[in-house]
Structure 1
Amino acid sequence: MKMKKKVSVMLLAAAAALCMAATAFGAGNSATAISGTKGTKKSEDFDLLFDGSVGTKWCTLMPDPYVIFSLPSAQSITGYTLVTGSDSNRWLGRNPKSWTLYGCNSATAPGVDDSGWTVIDTVTDDDTMKNASSAAYTFNLDQAAPAYQYYKFQVDKKGQTMQLSELILNYPGSSQTVQQLVGGSYGTNNLTEGAEKLLDGRADTKWCTADTEPWIIFRMTQPTSAKGYYMVTGNDNSQYPGRNPKSWTLYGCNADTAPDEDYGGWEVVHQVTDDATMEDRNGTAYYFALDQASPAYEYYMLKVSEKNSFVMQLSEFAIDYEGLSYSFTGLGGSQTTAENGGGGITGTLTCGSCAGRGENHCFVCQGSGWDPLGEVCENCDGRGEVTCTACNGTGHL
């Protein structure tokens, strides 16, 4: 079955080189991992392809990696979306190069070599996926595949290391969607605190800007009716108080091409004036409910009209919609599920030695995972990284 590729990354001239992020899954529709090639470590195993966070990833050194997963019921997919790792702009060449997607229906969970697998799509020497972090790429099929409950994603060609953050199957009725960054106000340090950090699924990064009226525009992979939205405070709000937004407006629209900040078709979805709800707590989720669900919009824009200080920052932002179970990687590195009711988990100060990652590059192999003789580095077991001694791997002090 021949497929068409559609690159989903969209940029605005007014923004820096930004990519999309923040995968959000609808409850009851998410895939479940069954088996696969082990990751370089437990925190990078194959099941993280379906955890709904682009802050985690499946990362493996093994040849011909695969993952087998299932849907709650058989579905006829129209395509699928692959999301690159959250650090693909730093660790280059880790996207899969060639792969095959299979489907099958069987009474029990199939194995990797079972004879019942049917090819749905094959990609050879892909050149659409770039070295961009948390970037989603949608691969549309020429025609819908037969309905299958079980799927196998087999990587046929890769570099030394392969990684992916999320794998999403697209089919009618699925409430799974990806929020894709279109553009936004520059960060105070646009390399580390740019607008893309607001949608990377991690509370230990942030969008921090001194813009007078900060804004961010993102696209949903399908028009989505908003019930509310989540805001997660910065990772160091307790250390730098007064950086939460004070007044803002959420807009929505549908347009043939990606709109900019001044587009005339924006419709007001929700407004907040002189907010007193958000506190100076680290990495804490707050929920803002709409009085009624909005129309289904493809594009949304958050525009801050008033700040509490010269600098404004947020760690995460996500539209809430029917069926969503929103989660992100919290300050402690574990998956945090945000309830649509109020504050989440108070974090601690981010470790400056590892920038909250809990790991540093291996000094023996300089992060390559290989020693000078071409053997797997014994100091880091080929991972290229070692536990940060300053925070004992927690990422926080």
Structure 2
Amino acid sequence: MALRGVKNFLCGSRVLTVKQNGVMRLSLVWYHCSEESERESLPSEWYEKAFLKLTKLSSFLKTVDLINGRPVNVIDESRVHDDILLENLHLFKSLARDFIGCPSVQETMKKNMIVALGSNAECKEPLCFSKASERESIRVDSLTKVASFLDISAQQRKVVRAAICPQVTRHQILTGALEEILDGLKSEIEYFDSRCPSNQVKMAKQIVVSCLKVLDIATSYNPESTSWMRVAPVKDADSPTTSHKWEDILERFIDLVDCLSEETKLALDVKKAEVMKEALYQIRDVRIDKNIGYRETRHQESLVQKILSKTLGHSSRCLFTLLTYYLYGNMQDIEVEVRGGLYEIGQGNKFRLCMGKILTSDEEKMLWSGVKQLDKALGLFKFIWEAAGMKGDLELQGHLWCIGTDSRSLAYRGNTFLLHGIDHFR
């Protein structure tokens, strides 16, 4: 289909089919239209063609999903390094987001919710994902983004910060987050170094190993299992005293980010390292010393927590990163493929947070992987809601879409997740 034909006929469409050397290629094209026209469904001809493309892509991508911004084979949980596959995944998700707005899928969703939530739902339930803005994706990477989504006031945001800072700035949370970032970056660097070796990547690998060695000094003792009476280790006269400051790790992180600034394939991991520089800068003058007793160690850890609690503001991405590690024990990005919204339901100050995930297949592992990713995102929003002391009960509801599947509901950790089938446009 020629560009002019697509442009005349699709408002808001993102798909362009181009024929090059006898090969049909799909590319993403963005168009802008008014808010009113965004809310209208696209022509039936678009849905018919889009469904054929979705079906083919679903078959090709049936075991693959986007996790932490990267393609992963969900069946064996292995990372997939394939740029073309990644491009097709993004195309599939983009097409599906538009398709969710078509009348037949909206009707399927409505019926599915009535069955899952009861016969009275039809007149009470809000219409979710009907607006184009509600079908866009969102990367959740700051407290400010979450607070804006939940309509949390500036005063309440101060309450959130005061509530979470003492928890997420603890020494073991900071060191755990740093180790997680470095281990992830090391794994990615080793993969690319084995296939596309370069001086910059080799140097970055050395910096990561060096960082981990210094960080090991800060985590070599476990305060939970050590007696308060422990004295400093006996120093070996023939060995130099091992003494560092957090500034040593800060300098290494700065060098690491600079070293990999041009490596686009490592951008996600480098960004995480760059975010953590804020915390390291604040505690740069605090000592890291392996050869001290328990009381001195606890003093250093307390000092780290005190400084970070005071200096990391609500809008700090570093604070948000520490929060996600505190809640989930890993540094995976939280990306919501279909952002949904916050809806008021019934009476009595009740609200429902709806968010969605697009699946390439309804295989059990794929389905439950999607449910867990959604639950993680929804749980984070509810945590902030409760930390802000928001009035009203917040119910969480996840929605998943898949080509040609039977609609049904699932329960996970006390929340409802609705699986909707995407069928031929009618």
TM-score by length of 1: 0.23
Give the structure with the larger helix fraction.
2
TM-score (norm 2): 0.22
Structure of greater relative contact order (alpha carbons < 8 Å, 6+ residues apart): 2
Q: Please state which structure has a larger fraction of its residues in strand.
A: 1
